Amino acid sequence: MRKIYLFILSALLMGGITSCDLDVKPNTAVTEDLLTDSTAAIGFLNAAYREMHRFNYYGQEMMVMGDVLADNAEIANNTGRYVAENANQIYAHYGFWFNAYTVINYANYAIDKVEQLLADGKISQSTANQIKGQALFLRALCHFDVARAYGYEPGKEVNGFNLSAVIRTAPIKGASDAEPKPRATNTEVYTQVKNDLLEAINLLNGNDPANAPRRAGKAAAEALLARVYLYEGDYPNAETYAQNALSSTTATISAAADVVSDWDALTVPHPESIFELDINPTIDWSTVDGLNNSLSSLTNNIASNGNNFSVQASADLLALLNAEAGDVRIGFWDQDTQTGFWRLLKWLGGKGGDVNCRNIPVIRYSEVLLIQAEAEARQGKDSEAQTTINILRSNRGLTNTTATGSALIDVIMNERRKELMFEGHRFFDLKRLGQDILKDGGAPLPYNDFKVLAPLSNQDIITSGGVLVQNPGYN
């Protein structure tokens, strides 16, 4: 077992992201001494962060699929990518289950190692707090992602089906740890996620990493908790933690004149980023990988080097962006004169000289503002919600809204749709509210259609010996 552990740790530390605040460098010479200091825990934490940007997780799928499955995207060049997903065909859905649990396992390794080192007096409390707090954040984010893609939100179940993610809170070190576990209920998963985030907030209080936002700090944990409460429909807590996050973060809202330019790949981090995945063009994505799979390649052909340019804005989204004069976010879309397709400028590459490489903002200041505004409006706090949403609107070239009641909620939801387009939120916004998906010129996807939930891998179900239960409709 010790040899296996050493091999895994060596693999994690090779090319790992350095942690500037803890002064740990990538290390390929793993010895038994290494297992007795904080470098081991940091190595596992580094590995968890690196797994987040795989193309079938946040490197591509998580940021595009939410618009493709919903009503924000249409197919541009028919390369075969996302065609079935855009038509909401059976089995054409999220498929990041394995990736999420890889991150969770690395995070659990980091937590386990920190607790061992603390018990042995071989790590400082402040260093332990920072490592464990970040690991808890990543574990919470991944459990939450699985829950919202593969299960219903609490209170929004169809036909009483409430199975969600498998909760994993200990590392899988060997065969005995890898015994199949059943899926927990959505309420149980939400409880676990909230508990992890509350603990992370406490641990990261005053211990934010110096290199945030590419490392999760207190504000990131508060912002994610606000998002979780919003999905759960706990609007008072969503409001509270959104306010806390906005008070904690050093991120700022982009002014109207800078909204589009702030998405330049060389602007690192994005001024609005509360949590951002750091992509290293010389390590993470080769030229071929970026060309085939990057967000830039998928959403535009501006690099002129073979980008596949598979998806574009839907006519409905473009109409919404043009509905009010002055909305600067229409500037994210450029129509190609030859094809007529709409190219997205939000995901342009260029970091490190790689035309398809860029960092990935996962939680932004504007999203948290939108969470606060929606939470306030759904509690009937119209005046507060107007003030909050008008901060965003005034920084997007729009006049202040005076709408109230359901009309105010409509304004806020339209702002979410425009502001967070092609950042992976639209499908989940419709799903958490139990709303049908209406397609441009296509058949709608009713909320009670089984294809709203992603299918589990049938191979995983077979391997589990029936412990894992498939989602309805896929049997």
Give the residue from 312, 294, 153 showing the smallest Cα distance to 230: 153
For the entire predicted model, the pTM comes to 0.93
| 184 inside domain | no
The rounded percent of the chain whose pLDDT value lies above 70 is 91
User: Do the beta carbons of residue 47 and residue 10 sit within 8 Å?
Assistant: no
| Per-residue confidence (pLDDT) for residue 297, from 0 to 100 | 93
| 405 inside domain | yes
Residue with tokens 């211990």: 207
Instruction: Identify the domain containing residue 91 by its residue range.
Output: 58-95+258-444
Q: Is the pLDDT confidence value at 184 over 50?
A: yes
| 45 inside domain | no
Q: Is the pLDDT confidence value at 176 over 80?
A: no
| 119 inside domain | no
How many domains is the chain partitioned into structurally?
Answer: 1
| Per-residue confidence (pLDDT) for residue 11, from 0 to 100 | 36
| Per-residue confidence (pLDDT) for residue 290, from 0 to 100 | 85
Q: Which residues contact 142 (CB under 8 A, 6 or more apart)?
A: 100, 101, 103, 104, 107
Other beta carbons within 10 angstroms of residue 206's beta carbon come to: 8
The rounded mean pLDDT for the chain is: 91
Q: Is the pLDDT confidence value at 37 over 80?
A: no
Q: Is the pLDDT confidence value at 3 over 70?
A: no
Residue with tokens 């060309």: 291
User: Do the beta carbons of residue 142 and residue 100 sit within 8 Å?
Assistant: yes
| 162 inside domain | no
| Per-residue confidence (pLDDT) for residue 19, from 0 to 100 | 33
Q: Is the pLDDT confidence value at 196 over 50?
A: yes
Q: Which residue has the higher pLDDT, 19 or 404?
A: 404
Question: 265-281: per-residue pLDDT in tens?
Answer: 999 999 999 999 999 98
| 44 inside domain | no
Confidence at 442, pLDDT banded by 50, 70, 90: confident
Q: What backbone torsions phi and psi does residue 433 show, to the nearest 5 degrees?
A: -100, 0
Confidence at 255, pLDDT banded by 50, 70, 90: very high
Residue 360 is classified by DSSP as E
Map residue 364 onto helix, strand or coil: strand
| 457 inside domain | no
Q: Is the pLDDT confidence value at 13 over 70?
A: no
Q: Is 26 left (phi over 0), alpha (psi -120 to 50) or beta?
A: beta
State the CATH number of the domain containing residue 425.
Answer: 1.25.40.390
Question: 334-344: per-residue pLDDT in tens?
Answer: 999 999 999 99
How much of the chain is in helix, strand and coil states, percent to nearest 5? 50, 5, 45
Q: What is the sign of the dihedral through the CA atoms of 358, 359, 365 and 369? A: positive
Question: 351-409: per-residue pLDDT in tens?
Answer: 998 888 999 999 999 999 999 999 999 999 999 999 999 999 999 999 999 999 999 99
Question: 91-114: per-residue pLDDT in tens?
Answer: 999 999 999 999 999 999 999 999
Q: Which residue has the higher pLDDT, 158 or 175?
A: 158
Question: 38-93: per-residue pLDDT in tens?
Answer: 899 999 999 999 999 999 999 999 999 999 999 999 999 999 999 999 999 999 99
| 128 inside domain | no
Q: What backbone torsions phi and psi does residue 273 show, to the nearest 5 degrees?
A: -70, 125
Q: Is 142 left (phi over 0), alpha (psi -120 to 50) or beta?
A: alpha
| Per-residue confidence (pLDDT) for residue 208, from 0 to 100 | 67
Confidence at 450, pLDDT banded by 50, 70, 90: very high
Question: 203-247: per-residue pLDDT in tens?
Answer: 998 766 778 899 999 999 999 999 999 999 999 999 999 999 999
266 CB burial (10 A radius; 0-12, 13-18, 19+) = exposed
Map residue 212 onto helix, strand or coil: coil
What average pLDDT does this structure show over 124-130?
94
| Per-residue confidence (pLDDT) for residue 210, from 0 to 100 | 72
